[in-house]
Amino acid sequence: MNIIYTTKAKDDLTHIDWRIREKIINELGRNGYRKNYAIRLPGGEYYRLDLENHIVIGQYKQDNFNVLTVLKKQKIKLPHS
Selected residue with higher pLDDT from 36 and 5:
5
Burial label, 45 (beta-carbon count in 10 A; 0-12, 13-18, 19+): exposed
Helix, strand, or coil (residue 31): helix
CB-CB contact of 2 with 65 (8 Å): yes
18 CB neighbour count, 10 Å cutoff: 9
CATH 3.30.2310.20 fits 2-72, yes or no: yes
pLDDT of residue 33: 55
Res. 16: pLDDT tops 80: yes
Report how far residue 70's alpha carbon sits from residue 56's, in angstroms, rounded to the nearest whole number. Answer: 5
Could you state, in order of their start, the residue ranges of all structural domains in the chain?
2-72
Q: What is the pLDDT of residues 23-78, one digit of tens each?
A: 999 988 886 556 677 888 998 889 998 888 999 999 988 888 899 999 999 888 88
Q: What is the pTM of this model?
A: 0.82
